[in-house]
Copies of this chain bind each other. A is one copy, B any other.
Amino acid sequence: MSLQNLISGKELSKIILTKIKDQVTKMVGEKPQLVIVQVGNNPASNKYIQHKLRACEYTGIIGTHLVFPETISQVDLEKQIITLNQEEQVHGIIVQLPLPKQIDEQRINEIISVTKDADGFNPATLGKVVLNTSTIFPATPAGIVKLLEWKNIELAGTNVVIIGRSNIVGKPLANMLINKSATVTVCNTKTKNLQEIAAKANILVSAAGSAKLITPKFVNENMTIIDVGANFVDGKYCGDVDFESVQPLVKYITPVPGGVGPMTIACLLENTLTSFKNQQIATKN
């Protein structure tokens, strides 16, 4: 089986991280700092945070891991974030999800300063993404756009179908691609004739979280597939695409793992670097 149509997020993320490293290495004086806030001890979160810290280490961005007890109150967590907002040496803040039940996640996202919003989850960041005036973009959609642009896949006038409408992937990605003049269709679980709609796409983004959802009937030979699924089936990590049957039938496809996942981390670090630069410009003015 030829795998020449793979879009390797592993490869592109390495290129991006190396570019960040080059810039950070040359910095004289202060370096960018990303603070990762964790509440409790979720095993999946531990793993994701380790990946993020390792990427920080590679690039020279200072990665700081703050862990608060599972029982922390809303008020106390907010206070911690407000403190981080005020610390001049902190340039990016992320609060690792999921959060325990007593914490209002939306409120936490609203409190993180727009100038340090490395995840891009603050409503004001998202609004600017919609208006095309933001320099920070939610990391997963940003990674997807970079993968498409890396392969010189035309976006203007292109039919893009996005399956899934989450706040962190489907909706921001749709707005970003609309701003790039794509014709964008956003589908959800209530969509009728999903298969028919998908099969006409030039670019199909599946962020449904449903293993083997995308079968050969959903695709065409000119299609680029971006698989955002992160599913576990029989202990094996896989995307939304029935990869073995679909991969030979399409023009381009991202693998899982090694596709969108590593791009998310690279874009998170790029956001941190951008926030660092924005803050330096703001201080000079």
The reply to whether B188 and A130 form a contact with Cβ atoms under 8 Å apart is no
Residue A280 at the B interface, CB < 8 A?
Answer: no
Interface residue? A133 (CB, 8 A) = yes
Say yes or no: B192 contacts A165, CB within 8 Å. no
Taking the closest CB of chain B, its distance from the CB of A87, in whole angstroms, is 23
Q: Mark A172-186, 1 if CB is under 8 A from B, else 0.
A: 101100110101111
Docked pose: A190 CA to B159 CA in angstroms: 10
In the complex, whether A131 has a CB less than 8 A from a CB of chain B is yes
- The answer to whether B123 and A157 have CB atoms under 8 Å apart is no
Partner of A157, one of B125, B184, B186, B190: B190
Is A124 an interface position by the 8 A CB rule?
Answer: yes
Copies of this chain, complex-wide, total: 2
Q: How far is the CB of A196 from chain B (nearest CB, A)?
A: 10
Which range contains the number of A residues in contact with the other chain? 35 or more
For A107, give the chain B residue with the smallest CB separation: B133
CB contacts under 8 Å to B, within A141-180, are 156-157, 159, 165, 167, 170-172, 174-175, 178-179
Interface residues in A101-156 (C-beta closer than 8 Å to B): 106, 122-128, 130-131, 133, 156
Q: What separation, in Å, do the CA atoms of A183 and B161 have in the docked complex? A: 10
Query: Pick the contact of A185 from B130, B185, B189, B190 — CB < 8 Å?
Result: B185
Say yes or no for A197: interface residue by CB 8 A criterion: yes
In the complex, whether A187 has a CB less than 8 A from a CB of chain B is yes
Q: Give A191 Cβ to nearest chain B Cβ, in Å.
A: 4
Report whether B186 and A184 are in contact in the complex, using a CB–CB cutoff of 8 Å: yes
Given A123-B128, A167-B131, A188 contacting B197 (CB threshold 8 A): no
Contact B130 A130 (CB under 8 A): yes
Contacts of A187 in B (CB 8 A): 183
Known: A174-B178, A183-B185. A191 touches B126 (CB 8 A): no
Contacts of A183 in B (CB 8 A): 185-188, 190-192, 197
- Mark out the residues of chain A between 176 and 234 whose CB falls within 8 Å of any chain B CB in the assembled complex: 178-179, 181, 183-192, 197
Contact with B along A30-63 (1 / 0, CB 8 A): 0000000000000000000000000000000000
Specify which chain B residues have a CB less than 8 angstroms from the CB of A171 in the assembled complex.
Answer: 130, 175, 178
Closest 7 CB pairs of A and B: A123-B127, A127-B127, A126-B127, A157-B190, A124-B124, A185-B185, A183-B191
Q: A122-B127, A123-B123, A174-B174 are in contact. List 10 more A-B contacts (CB 8 A).
A: A123-B133, A124-B127, A130-B172, A130-B175, A165-B178, A174-B178, A174-B186, A175-B175, A178-B188, A184-B185
- Can you show 16 pairs from A to B with CB atoms below 8 A apart? A106-B131, A123-B124, A123-B133, A124-B127, A125-B127, A127-B127, A127-B130, A130-B167, A130-B175, A131-B167, A157-B192, A159-B192, A165-B178, A183-B186, A183-B192, A184-B186
